[in-house]
Amino acid sequence: MLTIEQWAMLAIFFATFIGLVKYQNVPERVFAAATMACLTLSFVSTEQIFHNAINPGLLTLILLISCSFAFERTSFLRILANKLINKGVKRSLLKTLLTTAFASAILNNTAVVATLISPIKNNKFINPGRLLLPLSYAAILGGTLTLVGTSTNLIVNSMLIERGVESLKFFDFTLIGLAAMFACLLVLFIRISVLPKTAPDPKDDKHYFVEAEVTENSKLIGSSIEENGLRSMDSLFLVEIIRQGHLISPVTPEEFIQPGDKLIFTGDISKVFVLQQFDGLKLFAEQDGLLRDNLTEVLIKPGSAIIGLTLKQAGFRARFDAAVVAIRREGSTLSGKLGELIIHSGDFLVLAVGKDFITRTNLSKNFFILTGVEPENMLSGWRDKFTLFGFLGAISGSVFFEIPLLKCLIFYMAALFAFNCLSINEIKRRFPLEIWLIVVSALTLATALENTQVSFLLADFVQSYLEDKSTMAAFIAVFVITLIMTEVITNNAAAALIFPIAYNIAIGLGVNPLPFVMAVAFGASGSFISPYGYQTNVMVFNAGNYRLKDFIKVGVPVSLTYSVVVLYMIPLIFPF
């Protein structure tokens, strides 16, 4: 007979599930409300909540996400993206999907997909509609290969550690994940033809005009545009080259770079610092030594004193203590050297400004100051290499020397701060508060279930119900329920909610809990049917203009294949 406390705890648990289904966009609020209800009814103590908040598995997850902010700004993913797609369509498909999967095994798979979306949309060999959705699936599958491949695995690990069980190893997921990945990629190759072809986006007339000069000792010299990775960067496009006064347009991939070439790009101005990652490529504004992190966008007023002059004739630096980074003209396509363009009324300029810019009395006569432009502050030079090899070193230290991953990441993050590869402001701005709240609240909910004995009653109930049935039936049920829930309430929420039930079912049956833990981890990562179950699905859903039926046509056979392989492999690797 259940007590009033136990009935109340069950009510909170099921209300949490209903809330997650109804309010899919704010799972952290639903979990936080459940935590407050448990605290109000004294099902948990404040000490237990604080203990959950500093769970080693959770801290590892937070540090890994925070360190990835620096890694996203390196040249590694950009260089990778430029080497994947070429004229060999089948080979390009295979290279892209396998590279995405293996990169997602150690990197944030959301960052991997975000980096590859633009090159895929701009490539001229494979229609983006045939590749964007498989890209998301490959990232999801790659995330299942290692402990750090997806936040879901780390959430499950943190809840396992909370129960006094030894942390999962880095490669505990790998054999199961590899089998599922190769089987699902085979299905993708068979089903890829049913995906719709997307029409190319019309050229955005709001793209800025940016100039960069090749220096005399640049490593780009002597190699082609394609070999240097200048053809399809993220949101910046090479439209022409000015060489010894002659204009080369359009620019072919086979065109070789020469010293003194002025490369003219058009695109998203927030991506301008990507150009600094190329050896010996100097932006126009760097000549004045003013290129900084914060840029200012202005509009040329009618009657401005610089209308009809070129930037050089206007003496821009001396007049305004600013250098022009880029220019845009509504309804017109610009061409030629940036410094020789004649300024028109209504032109938009992005300026790198000096300390005295704001004190100049001539600003209001010449400009409407619109807003600050926040460019993506990309890493270059030795910081770029240090961030990459430091990350690999932190992971290797954990894998090969059995140093706790948390300890490796603490030292790595300290080094990122010390060498100015990552800033406190960026951590504050992008701190994964939602994930932290979900995991802390889920751990607290599991603690409350145990404190009120509900988890043990649940285990007894399952044990009696399955008395004449096999443990395999319970194992399959846990996986299927988690798989369905991840399509309905997102992957992290599904893992956090189902874990305590699965773990206690295993305890109630008197079997090894690891197969049930793995069933939750792999079930929560298996979002192939819903566009909203996993963040990479949402990203490609919008980028590829897909419809729900596209996910169903490809996702259902992939999901079935994934389920069969995972359900076969888990008991093989982790016997009951």
Q: In this model, does residue 205 exceed pLDDT 50?
A: no
Least confident of 61-75, 244-258, 519-533, 562-576: 61-75
Query: Angle, to 10 degrees, between the axis of helix 174-191 and the axis of helix 89-104?
Result: 150
DSSP readout, 337-359?
-GGGPBP-TT-EEEEEE-TTGGG
Residue 206's pLDDT band (boundaries 50, 70, 90)? low
Q: In this model, does residue 574 exceed pLDDT 90?
A: yes
Nearest CA to 69 out of 346, 364, 377, 530 is that of 377
For 567, residues 6+ apart whose C-beta sits below 8 A from its C-beta are 475, 476, 479, 519
Q: In this model, does residue 203 exceed pLDDT 60?
A: no
Residue 557's pLDDT band (boundaries 50, 70, 90)? very high
Q: In this model, does residue 416 exceed pLDDT 90?
A: yes
Residue 182's pLDDT band (boundaries 50, 70, 90)? very high
Rounded CA separation 343/341 (Å): 6
User: What does the pLDDT average to over 473-489?
Assistant: 88
User: What does the pLDDT average to over 332-340?
Assistant: 77
Res 202: pLDDT: 45
Residues of the chain with pLDDT > 90, as a percent, come to 23
Least confident of 84-88, 393-397, 520-524: 84-88
User: What does the pLDDT average to over 384-408?
Assistant: 87
The pTM (predicted TM-score) of the whole model is 0.71
Which residue ranges make up each domain of the chain?
208-267, 295-373
Res 141: pLDDT: 95
Res 139: pLDDT: 93
- For 498-534, what is each residue's pLDDT tens digit? 888 888 888 878 889 999 999 999 999 998 988 877 7
User: What does the pLDDT average to over 70-85?
Assistant: 76
Q: Write out the H or E segment, with its range, that includes residue 188.
A: helix 174-191
User: What does the pLDDT average to over 247-274?
Assistant: 84
**Burial of residue 503 (number of CB atoms within 10 Å: 0-12, 13-18, 19+):** buried
Higher confidence at residue 371 or residue 181?
181
Q: Write out the H or E segment, with its range, that includes residue 12.
A: helix 4-22
Rounded CA separation 399/405 (Å): 8
Q: In this model, does residue 367 exceed pLDDT 60?
A: yes
CATH of 208-267, one of 3.40.50.2000, 3.90.1640.10, 1.20.120.430, 3.30.70.1450: 3.30.70.1450
Q: Are 208-267 and 295-373 the same fold in CATH?
A: yes
Best mean pLDDT range from 101-105, 336-340, 359-363, 557-561: 557-561
β-partners of residue 236 are 233, 267
- For 286-306, what is each residue's pLDDT tens digit? 665 555 556 788 888 877 889
Nearest CA to 51 out of 203, 164, 201, 179 is that of 164
β-partners of residue 238 are 265
What size, in residues, is the chain?
Answer: 576
Backbone φ, ψ for residue 322 (5° rounding) = -155, 155
Q: In this model, does residue 359 exceed pLDDT 70?
A: yes
- For 419-471, what is each residue's pLDDT tens digit? 988 888 888 877 888 888 888 888 888 889 888 988 777 767 766 666 556 78
Residue 39's pLDDT band (boundaries 50, 70, 90)? very high
Rounded CA separation 422/377 (Å): 10
Query: Was domain 295-373 assigned CATH 3.90.1150.10?
Result: no
Res 544: pLDDT: 80
- Supply the mean pLDDT for the chain: 84
* Other residues' Cβ atoms within 10 Å of the Cβ of residue 109: 27
Q: What one-character DSSP code corresponds to residue 310?
A: B
- 103 and 123 Cβ atoms separated by less than 8 Å: no
Res 569: pLDDT: 96
